[in-house]
Amino acid sequence: MSDPVLPRAEIVVDLAAVRHNVRILKDLVSVDGPVALMAVVKADGYGHGMVEVAAAARDAGADWLGVATIDEALALRAAGDRGPLLCWLSAPGDDFASAVAAGVEVTAYSEAELEEIAAVGGARVQLKVDTGLSRGGAARQEWHDLFAVASDLEREGRITVTGIWSHFAASDEPAHPANDAQEAAFRDAVSLAESAGLDPRVTHLANSAATLLRPSSHFDLVRCGIATYGLDPAPGTSPRIGLRPAMTARARLVMSKAIEAGAGVSYGHTWHADDNTTVGLVPVGYGDGIIRAAGNAASVWVDDSVRPIRGRVCMDQLVVDLHGELPPAGTEVVLFGPGDVGEPTAQDWAAAVGTISYEIVTRIGGRFVRRHIDTDAPDGASEGTVR
């Protein structure tokens, strides 16, 4: 069926699903006592729209918001958010002064970074420790000195240390030995910080997967990124607790046509038709964030049927096998969605191309129009943005 109001290609984000997911996650972590929830909205809200998702998460009870960069944090403040907000990825010379003035809590990985932050004066700082991911955060041999410097700066009134935190490497694999080792190391770090005279308001280690699978790691706060958007942080976890994917990506057919058996499709002719068939042209490609590996791997939804992508994904377009059907130009093509009626999901796409759903939803954009809807609103109120 054609839809005259459907743009050439659009991303539809249901903010009601975001609120639903946050409420479920809040209920989950509240079972064993008061645990705060941080909705992670970095990378433009994992491609869902940072400002809109942040507001929906706050409405549903998110205690904190988390972003990577100071620029992201300042954009949230400019949009009106005033609640607890943490950022954690800075480079030397970043604008700590603006972050502090906006009431954003910043993260320090090292003594040098801590000194740079302290030079601003009045910063609320969280210290990140590396417990085994071997990525950001102070290495174990640096903890003692980092905590000592932080304690001295706090006594001098130059900073306030509000948190200690770390990040799991393999929480999506519950039996992975790194999980126990990292949690034990984190407990050591918190104890060492307290011995240095620090009294952090929050300690946190759990990401989405650990929030769902490892209650012992919840501490004072959990950080939920991918689960906020209703996608699996570990296989099968989101549907089990009733999370709802918030994003649907869709487009319109430009044309459909018949091709003969043996015809090659798209660049390099990486696929040839075994029999006479029909194909449809979809006006999105890797220039819009469609992963190129989807060619000959992922599928879409056309006229209530799954249709495979044939041949290579191009910059602006891709081709799907319509299996003999000739739907008219303008027919809706759902690339992925919640899966409620059988359409492929972001997780299906991820499995097809050997990646994770995070990459599928975060990279999509380009010339797509993004529209936010609220299926809880009486009229399904929507607002469109272009990215």
Which amino acids are annotated catalytic?
A: 42, 267
CB 67 within 8 A of CB 76: yes
- What 3-state class would DSSP assign to 287? helix
- What's the rounded Cα separation, in Å, for the pair 243 and 230? 5
Q: How many other C-beta atoms lie within 10 A of the C-beta of residue 340?
A: 10
- Write down the H helix ranges in the chain: 15-29, 42-46, 50-59, 70-78, 96-101, 111-118, 143-155, 177-195, 208-213, 237-241, 346-353, 357-363
**Beta-carbon neighbour count of residue 309 at 10 Å?**
25
Choose among 8, 2, 11: nearest CA to 247.
Answer: 11
Neighbouring-strand partners of residue 318: 282
| CA pair distance 148, 160, nearest whole angstrom | 13
Q: Count of CB atoms within 10 A of residue 329's CB? A: 12
Which stretch of DSSP H or E encloses residue 88? none
DSSP 3-state assignment of 171?
A: coil
Give the separation between CA 211 and CA 294, rounded to whole angstroms: 31
CA 281 to CA 224: how far, in whole Å? 37
| Residues whose CB is less than 8 angstroms from the CB of residue 358 and which lie 6 or more positions away in sequence, other chains included | 46, 225, 226, 231
State both tokens at 298.
């992922």
Q: Could you tell me which residues are annotated as the binding site for substrate? A: 135, 315
Q: Which residues pair with 255 in a beta bridge?
A: 281
DSSP tally for the chain: helices H, then strands E: 12, 20
Binding residues: 135, 315
